[in-house]
Structure 1
Amino acid sequence: MFADAPELLAIQEGVAAVCGRFGDEYWAQCDREEHFPTEFHRAMATDGWLGVTMPERFGGAGLGVREAATVMHTVARHGAMTAASSIHINMFGPHPVVVHGSPEQQERWLPRLVRGEDQVCFGVTEPNAGLDTTSITTFAKRVEGGYRISGRKMWTTTAQVANKILLLTRTTPKAECARPTDGITLFYTDLDRSQMEVRRIPKHGRAAVDSNAVFIDDVFVPEGDRVGEEGKGFRYLLDGLNPERILVAAEAIAIGEAALHRAAQYARDRTVFNRPIGMNQGIQHPLAECWVNLQAAMLMTERAAELYDGNRPCGAEANSAKLLGARAGYQACLQSVMTHGGMGYAKEYHVERLLREVLLTRLAPVSEQMILCFIAERVLDLPKSY
């Protein structure tokens, strides 16, 4: 990954050493019991990997998206999306706080995230807004000393175990704003379950890392928990979007690589009609094509990371990496199940779990259709279609 740079290989080896303590059965058990991988999260925090992108003065390493993508690629290669999602938000989720938080806020919040003492969830998506973030209706009304917030969030990951929430709200109704992106305010505050109802959403895969609907009814949030200026939260949110797409691409590719490795091993070992099935081109060619697509997706991911870390525009590349990485990862997992035949459908070989988990990368954090709209408008200069 990333041209096998020595510093990245060192990161890969260090993360793999932690991941090596958690084998297939651990991840299968987490999935089966819907158990958050607390032990893995704690091990990654203890070895310092949760602070890869955090500033050094707060206990982090102060590194870039290349290094973060290397961490997440290695993690996902071992534990798929369950492992990746348990620490994903630590990589760039708090970036608005790093960039726009006050020195007092950074000192209060960031070291605890680096040490794993706090876990944060992301309250952005809403039932009636979806990808149209400017249409959120969760509202923060200014009162003495802070705000009263009411609304509902959907697909809030890790809200069952998090004690903090990065919460996006409106402070001015959309209809009263000069631009749709105005009037949106970001908070980093306590997730108090005595005041916020957190309702788990049963879902297709990644059962160990919870997704939730969060109901907020007239909850007081102190002014000191507001990130940056009132009304500018949408712009703050953008700081973390391209890095997240790059990380998701790296994770999807890694899961595809893990599935491809299992498929090739099975094709070498499985004998039918007195020959290993891997001798058949009908088995070989689809797997070889998966390898080609994974490599191509990784090259785009590397390019996007290089641009981001060089402070150059990377929106097209980051979105393209997410699209290509998710598709390549999904196809590799699907082909792995097909290569295993009936046993691919059995939990014993773990590939059905990889297929269930990699599907998420095609759905989130942005749809394939919105990515293609972005490329059409921003790269090809075509008129906006929505």
Structure 2
Amino acid sequence: MQLTTVDEHAAIREAVRELCARFPDDYWKGLEPNSYPEDFVTALTQHGWLSVLVPTQYGGAGLSLDAACAVLQEINHSGGNAAACHAQMYTMAAILRNGSDEQKQRYLPAIAAGDLRLQAFGITEPTVGSDTTRIQTTAVRTNTGFVVRGQKVFTSRALFSDLMLLLARTSPVGDSGKPGDGLSLFIVDMRAAGEALTIRPLETMMNHATTEVFFDGMELPADALIGVEGRGFKYVLETMNAERILIAAECIGDGRWFTERASRYASDRAVFGRPIGVNQGVQFPIARAYAAVEAAELMRRFAAGLFDAGSPCGAQANMAKLLASEASWQAANACLDTHGGWGFTRDFHIERKFRETRLYSVAPISNNLVLAFLGHHVLGMPRSY
């Protein structure tokens, strides 16, 4: 594949930017600490931006992951927070690549129309953290399907979603000794779960609508299983590649927001009779952050191109997330330093974006684990975890 200098998604970016203009900085400030941006998500849905990955035969736009990246990137570039709705994009990989025709027909048209939301992804558990293969939530087979027991944590948007992708253990680790064996992936209609499903909000330093979820004998029909029983971890890895690429796009959007705000303020703010931007101590950190953000965007585009081509992209997806999250954090610090004390005030909106972009150094995967993955699986060094 080759990267082109032409922005193939300029029209998408412009349209998303126009929509985001209806939801300015004060809209997002007014939602804190823990209100869900319902109006914003509804507007995105009505304009079709949350169904760009849904194939046209199911009512979606049938666009590429790269196009989906343009949508989320522009939301964050405009000062918003795409985390309110990004799961509906990265969960598509599991359904489109491994779901049955019946599952696609049942759920995708309703998702595209906005009648159903798929915003919850139940993977992480409090006792295992990033060691996904050691999860303890079980789905035991019955005559009619499965019964689920266990707990998930950091399951964001569960209170505002109709459906959830859920990873659970359906059998012990097999004779191969691979921890990923025996994990299965399900699509859960949370509306039908009743009292067997409990959702508790978790307060965090950013408005992320995250929760912990408890399953107490939740019954699932047999056709809730996605793909082949016991192969769910493989399906999740494909979904995680899409997730990392999309998160990288959001970080790049943040990074551009920070560098633009910092550049503008440094040009306008005068101290000692001249703009502070003439000082290299102010100007150079912003310029260096800009370079890092744009370099990360190249890796993000490369990873998305591989994903869309159906080629292996695990290393590239992880590197895109690593580089983009570090670049956005670098830009955030440069922006906050440029604004000085004013950057800590809510009126300048920087402290909100500062908190939001900090998350991506540790989620959806810690950057240290990305480095461990690259060291072992790409560079061939001994396994460190």
**2-side partners of 1:177 and 1:222: how far apart?**
29
Q: Single out whichever of 172-181 and 134-143 deviates more from structure 2.
A: 172-181
Which residues in structure 2 correspond to 1:1-386 (within 5 Å)? 3=4, 5=6, 7-32=8-33, 34-80=34-80, 83-120=81-118, 121-174=120-173, 178-191=177-190, 192=193, 194-205=195-206, 207=207, 209-386=208-385
- Please state how far the C-alpha of 1:297 moved relative to its aligned partner: 0.9
Counterpart amino acid of 2:93?
H
The answer to which of 299-308 and 130-139 deviates more is: 299-308
Give the Cα separation in 1 of the matches to 2:113 and 2:18. 19
Q: What percentage of residue pairs aligned between the two structures are identical?
A: 39
Match of 1:57, as an amino acid?
A: Q
What SS class does the counterpart of residue 198 from structure 1 fall into? strand
Shift of 1:173: 2.1
| Equivalent pair of 1:101/1:227 in contact (CA under 8 Å) | yes
TM-score, L = length of structure 2: 0.95
Contact 2:289 2:327 in 1 (8 A): yes
Distance 1:176 1:222 in 2: 28
Q: What is the deviation of 1:3?
A: 4.6
Q: CA contact under 8 A between 2:93 and 2:242: conserved in structure 1? A: no
Counterparts of 1:382 and 1:203, CA distance in 2: 36
CA distance in 2 between counterparts of 1:42 and 1:172 reads 39
Deviation at 1:49, TM superposition (A): 0.9
Alpha carbons 1:134, 1:174 under 8 Å: kept: no
Q: Deviations over 1:46-68 (max 9, x none)?
A: 11111111111111122212111
**Deviation at 1:174?**
2.9
Q: Secondary structure at the match of 2:160?
A: coil
Shift of 1:322: 0.6
How far apart, CA to CA, are the structure 2 residues paired with 1:175 and 1:186?
17
**Preserved CA contact (<8 Å) 1:158 1:210:** yes
Instruction: Calculate the TM-score normalised by the size of structure 1.
Output: 0.95
- Residue identity opposite 1:84 in structure 2: A
Which ranges of structure 1 fall in alignment gaps of 5 or more residues? none
Q: Which secondary structure does the structure 2 equivalent of 1:131 belong to?
A: coil
Kindly indicate whether the alpha-carbon contact (under 8 Å) linking 1:16 and 1:74 is maintained by their aligned counterparts in 2.
yes
DSSP 3-state at the match of 2:254: helix
Q: Look up the SS of the partner of 1:329 in the other structure.
A: helix
SS in 2 for 1:304: helix
Does structure 1 conserve the Cα–Cα contact (< 8 Å) formed by 2:174 and 2:182? no
C-alpha root-mean-square deviation of aligned residues, in Å? 1.5
Structure 2 runs not aligned, ≥5 long: none
Contact 1:185–1:232 under 8 Å retained in 2: yes
Distance 1:222 1:13 in 2: 43
User: Letter of the aligned partner of 1:347 in structure 2?
Assistant: R
Instruction: Tell whether the 8 Å contact from 2:136 to 2:150 is kept in structure 1 after alignment.
Output: yes
- SS of residue paired to 1:160: helix
User: Residues 260-313 of structure 1: CA distance to partner in whole angstroms, max 9, x if unpaired?
Assistant: 111111111211111111111111111111111111111111111222222222
- Per mean C-alpha deviation after superposition, the further-off stretch among 351-360 and 231-240 is 231-240
